[in-house]
């Protein structure tokens, strides 16, 4: 199990500690319990590309808390209602797709912050301890602990990346190499133009003193990103990790049977 409390995730992320997470694609609690119990620093519940709804997200965040890992939610869309829902349910942070402009970035920050923002107040959900925390205790705790990560995955975002990374309250950035590859017509996520885009985002974030996260298929892919200054890694997903493990078992079994 992770030795750090989920509420400490934002500070660890901002300090650019080396952090490991994985996407959760299966709308049950079990894979979150397994990965968190093994010591993963965070999990990303994927509402954008997996069949999660408000109830399954709520259950997933409860599972993350139970095993002491930070539950981040990749929201399906960056509306104030979506962001408020997952934060009230106790998300340690949000991963927000397609932050392609300064205006979008500012709107996201505003929806996630009380002070200086426009987050709707309630201390009655899980985030407020079901009313245990007083109004200003809850405001202080949430503004201190909620992590807001923007996904940079559109070519137009690269044109204003220096302005986006400078926005106060935006904690860090995820390089969406898959969407960038499709949008730019690149042959693969390792294509030179995607490498260049990743380096540009990492350089801008470093200049602003903010961390960068990327998704990788395996730990073997980390060295070039570490050189760029990337400190948080989302390795595959619960489903792909299961496929990898199942594939190895199947290969080993067939080799045994053939021998």
Tell me which of 30, 49, 98, 138 is the catalytic residue. 49
Instruction: Give the tokens for residue 45.
Output: 């519940």
Q: Residue 6: which pLDDT band, with cuts at 50, 70 and 90?
A: confident
Q: Residue 100: which pLDDT band, with cuts at 50, 70 and 90?
A: very high
pLDDT tens digits, one per residue of 188-228 = 999 999 999 999 999 999 999 999 999 999 999 999 999 99
3-class secondary structure per residue, the chain: CCCCCHHHHHHHHHCCCCEEEEEECCCCCHHHHHHHHHCCCEEEEECCCCCCCHHHHHHHHHHHHHHCCEEEEECCCCCHHHHHHHHHCCCCEEEECCCCCHHHHHHHHHHHCCCCCCCCCCCCCHHHHHHCCCHHHHHHHHHHHCEEEEEECCHHHHHCHHHHHCCCCCCEEEECHHHHHHHHCCCCCCCHHHHHHHHHHHHHHHHCCCCEEEEECCHHHHHHHHHHCCCEEEEEEHHHHHHHHHHHHHHHHHHHHHC
- 30 catalytic per annotation: no
Residue 259 has pLDDT above 90, yes or no: no
Closest CA to 233 of 245, 243, 248, 218: 218
pTM: 0.95
Phi/psi of residue 37, each to 5°?
-65, -25
pLDDT at 4: 57
**CATH classification of 6-258 is 3.20.20.60, yes or no?**
yes
Q: Residue 171: which pLDDT band, with cuts at 50, 70 and 90?
A: very high
pLDDT tens digits, one per residue of 14-30 = 999 999 999 999 999 99
Whole-angstrom Cα distance, residue 150 to residue 210?
Answer: 11
Average pLDDT over every residue of 130-136: 96
Average pLDDT over every residue of 160-169: 97
CA 220 to chain centre: 20
pLDDT tens digits, one per residue of 80-98 = 999 999 999 999 999 999 9
Across all residues in the chain, what is the average pLDDT?
96
């Amino acid at each position: 199990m992770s030795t750090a409390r989920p509420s400490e995730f934002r500070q660890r992320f901002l300090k650019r500690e080396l952090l490991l997470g994985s996407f959760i694609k299966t709308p049950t609690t079990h894979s979150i319990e397994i990965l968190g119990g093994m010591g993963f620093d965070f999990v990303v519940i994927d509402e954008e590309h997996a069949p999660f709804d408000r109830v399954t997200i709520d259950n997933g965040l409860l599972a993350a808390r139970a095993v002491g890992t930070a539950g981040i939610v990749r929201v399906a869309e960056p509306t104030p209602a979506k962001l408020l829902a997952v934060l009230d349910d106790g998300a340690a942070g949000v991963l927000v797709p397609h932050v392609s402009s300064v205006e979008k970035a500012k709107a996201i920050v505003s929806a996630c912050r009380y002070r200086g923002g426009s987050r709707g107040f309630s201390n009655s959900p899980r985030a407020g301890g079901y009313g245990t925390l007083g109004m200003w205790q809850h405001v202080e705790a949430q503004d201190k602990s909620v992590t807001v990560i923007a996904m940079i995955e559109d070519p137009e975002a690269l044109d204003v990346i220096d302005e986006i990374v400078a926005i106060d309250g935006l904690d860090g950035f995820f390089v969406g190499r898959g969407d960038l590859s499709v949008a730019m017509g690149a042959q693969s996520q390792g294509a030179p133009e995607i490498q260049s885009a990743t380096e540009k985002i990492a350089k801008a974030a470093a200049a602003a003193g903010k961390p960068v996260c990327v998704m990788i298929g395996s730990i073997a892919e980390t060295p070039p990103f570490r050189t760029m200054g990337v400190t948080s890694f989302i390795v595959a997903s619960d489903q792909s990790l299961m496929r990898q493990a199942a594939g190895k078992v199947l290969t080993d079994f067939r080799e045994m049977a053939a021998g």
